[in-house]
Structure 1
Amino acid sequence: MGYAFAGLFTLMMATAGTASGEALDSSASPGKRLAVAADCVACHTAPGGKAFAGGYPLGSPMGTIYSTNITPSKIAGIGNYSAEQFARAVRDGVTADGTHLYPAMPYTSYSKMTDSDIAALYDYFMHEVQPVDTPTAKTELQFPFNVRASMIGWNAMFHSSTRFTPDPAKSAEVNRGDYLVNGLAHCDTCHTPRNVLMAADNSKALAGGALGSWYAPNITSDKVSGIGAWSSDDIVAYLRTGHVEGKAQAAGPMAEAVENSLQHLSDSDLKAIAAYLLQTQPVKTGEAKARHEYGQASVDELTLRGGKPEDNPGWHIFSGTCANCHQPDGQGNKEYPSLFHNTATSRSDNLIAAIVYGVHREVDGVAIDMPAFGPGALFTDRLTDQQIADVSNYVLSRYGNAEKIVTAADVALAREGGPTAPLAVLAKFTIPAIILVCVLIGLGVMALISRRRKGA
Structure 2
Amino acid sequence: MKKVTYIVLVGIALLVFAFVGAKLIPITLAPPLAATHKVDINDQTLIAQGEYYARVADCVACHTAPGGKPFAGGLGMQTPMGAIYSTNITPDIETGIGSYSYVDFERAVRKGIRQDNQPLYPAMPFVSYKIVNDAEIEAMYAYFMSSVSAVKQQNQQTTIPWPASMRWPLAWWHALFSPARSFTANPNLTTEQNQGAYLVEGLAHCGACHTPRGIAFQEKALSDDVSGQFVSGSVLEGWYAKSLRNEGLGLATWKQADIVEFLKTGRTDKTAAFGSMADVVAHSTRYFTDKDLNAIASYLHQLAPRPGYEKNWQSKADTTTSALRAGDFSASGALLYMEQCAACHRLDGKGAPRIFPALAGNSIVFAEDPSSLIQVTLAGGEMATTAHDVMTFTMPEFYHLKNQELADVLNFIRNSWGNHGSHISTRDVATMRRVVDHAPVHYVPAKEIENE
TM-score range, shorter chain: 0.7 to 0.9
The residue that corresponds to 1:212 in the other structure is 237
Partners in 1 of 2:420 and 2:304 — Cα distance? 29
Q: Deviations over 1:90-122 (max 9, x none)?
A: 111111011211100111101111111110000
Distance 1:295 1:147 in 2: 55
Task: Please give the root-mean-square deviation of Cα atoms over the aligned residues, in Å.
Answer: 2.5
**Which residue identity is paired with 1:277?**
L
Q: Could you list the per-position Cα deviations for residues 10-54 of structure 1 after superposition, in whole angstroms to 9, with x for gaps in the alignment?
A: xxxxxxxxxxxxxxxx99811110111111111111111110011
Partner of 1:122: 141
Structure with larger RCO (C-alpha < 8 A, sep 6+) = 2
* 1:86 aligned counterpart, secondary structure: helix
Map 1:44-123 to 2 at 5 A: 44-123=63-142
- Which moved further from structure 2: 282-291 or 399-408? 282-291
Q: What is the CA-CA distance between 1:287 and the residue it aligns to?
A: 5.4
Residue 392, structure 1, aligned to residue 410, structure 2: yes
- Report the alpha carbon displacement of residue 333 of structure 1 after superposing the two structures with TM: 1.8
What stretches of structure 2 of length at least 5 have no aligned partner? Answer: 1-44, 222-226, 439-452
The within-5 A match list for 1:284-363 is 284=307, 286=309, 289-290=312-313, 293=315, 296=318, 298-304=321-327, 314-334=333-353, 335-347=355-367, 348-360=370-382, 361-363=384-386
What are the superposed Cα offsets for residues 379-411 of structure 1, whole Å, 9 maximum, x if unpaired?
xxx322222112112212213644522222211
Other structure's SS at 2:375 match: helix
Taking structure 2 as the reference length, the TM-score comes to: 0.78
Change over 3 Å in CA distance of 1:385–1:27 after alignment to 2: farther
How many corresponding residue pairs?
381
Deviation at 1:183, TM superposition (A): 0.4
SS of 1:363's partner is coil
Equivalent position amino acid for 1:276 in 2: Y
1:257 Cα deviation from its structure 2 partner = 1.2
For residue 415 of structure 2, give the secondary structure of its aligned residue in structure 1: helix
Alignment of 1:412 with 2:430, yes or no, is yes
Decide whether the 8 Å contact of 1:358 with 1:369 is kept in 2: no
Does 2:189 match 1:194? no
- Measured after TM superposition, the shift of residue 237 of structure 1 is 1.3
Identity %: 37
Partner of 1:237: 261
Q: 2:295 aligns with which of 272, 288, 291?
A: 272
Q: CA deviation at 1:339?
A: 1.2
2:401 matched to 1:383? yes
Inter-partner Cα distance in structure 2 for 1:133 and 1:405: 49
Structure 2 residue matching 1:328: 3-state secondary structure? coil
CA–CA distance in structure 1, aligned partners of residues 167 and 424 of structure 2: 38
1:368 maps to which of 392, 400, 409: 392
Against the structure 1 CA distance between its residues 280 and 400, is the aligned structure 2 distance closer, same or farther, given a 3 Å change threshold? same
8 Å contact kept, 1:193–1:208:
yes
C-alpha distance in 2, partners of 1:157/1:194? Answer: 14
1:185 maps to: 204
1:346 CA displacement: 0.6
The match for 1:16 is none
SS in 1 for 2:291: helix
Check the 8 A contact 1:294/1:340 in 2, yes or no. no
Letter in 2 for 1:156: A
Distance 1:221 1:402 in 2: 19
Q: In 2 relative to 1, CA 86–403 (structure 1 residues): closer, same or farther, beyond 3 Å? A: closer
Cα distance in structure 1, aligned partners of 2:132 and 2:423? 43
* Letter aligned with residue 384 of structure 1: K
